[in-house]
Structure 1
Amino acid sequence: MKIIKVLGTGCPSCVSTEKVITEVVNQLNIEAKIEKVTDIMEIMAYDVMSTPAIVINEVVVFKGKVPSVDEVKALLNDTPCCSSSAGSSCC
């Protein structure tokens, strides 16, 4: 299962980012847990200064703007860990 975190303080762009991610996860039928991280200290721990940001399996993969559906699809498909081919070696 992928752990996807949306980093942001709750601004409209952060809310939109979460909606796009949820839409893509549902479209692609991906097993994922989506979490919102709004605490500024937690966000800074990821070395992110521009939100919204997306973290997949503890790796910052996108930041600074609302991603398009196609960008999120590419991010989720290009994340090798926890893909169907990873099998039991999943992180």
Structure 2
Amino acid sequence: MKIQVLGTGCAKCKQLTANAEQAVAALGLEAKVEKVEDLREIMKLGVMTTPALVVDGVVKSAGKVLSPDAVRALLGS
């Protein structure tokens, strides 16, 4: 599973990254949370507002900081 957090390094992006890492650990997944800060890469995925959460190339959330529970729900489904 490939998990990416898209954002330019703002506090909200860092929080979403931490929440995603917590969710991965809680679920015991063999996945690494990757931070994407390159605006060209973010635009390629069609994301216009950050932070965004991408799972296996599919944008699951954009423009808000998901709680660890919300990320876990997305990853568990």
* Both proteins in one fold, TM over 0.5: yes
TM-score range, shorter chain: over 0.9
Q: Considering only CA atoms, is the larger Rg found in Structure 1 or Structure 2? A: 1
1:30 is matched by which residue type in structure 2? L
Correspondence 1:13-52 to 2 at 5 A: 13-52=12-51
TM-score when normalising by structure 2: 0.96
Higher relative contact order (CA 8 A, sep 6+): 2
Correspondence 1:1-91 to 2 at 5 A: 2-78=1-77
Q: State the distance in 2 between where 1:77 and 1:32 align.
A: 12
**4+ aligned runs moved over 6 Å, structure 1:** none
CA RMSD in angstroms, aligned pairs only: 0.7
Q: Gaps spanning 5+ residues in structure 1: where? A: 79-91
* Percent identity over paired residues: 48
TM-score when normalising by structure 1: 0.82
Q: State the distance in 2 between where 1:27 and 1:74 align.
A: 11
Structure 1 counterpart SS, 2:13: helix
| 38-47 or 24-33: bigger deviation | 24-33
The number of aligned residues is: 77
Shift of 1:72: 0.4
1:21 is matched by which residue type in structure 2? A
- Deviation sequence 1:58-85 (CA, Å, 0-9, x none): 110111110012210110011xxxxxxx
Q: State the distance in 1 between where 2:2 and 2:35 align.
A: 11
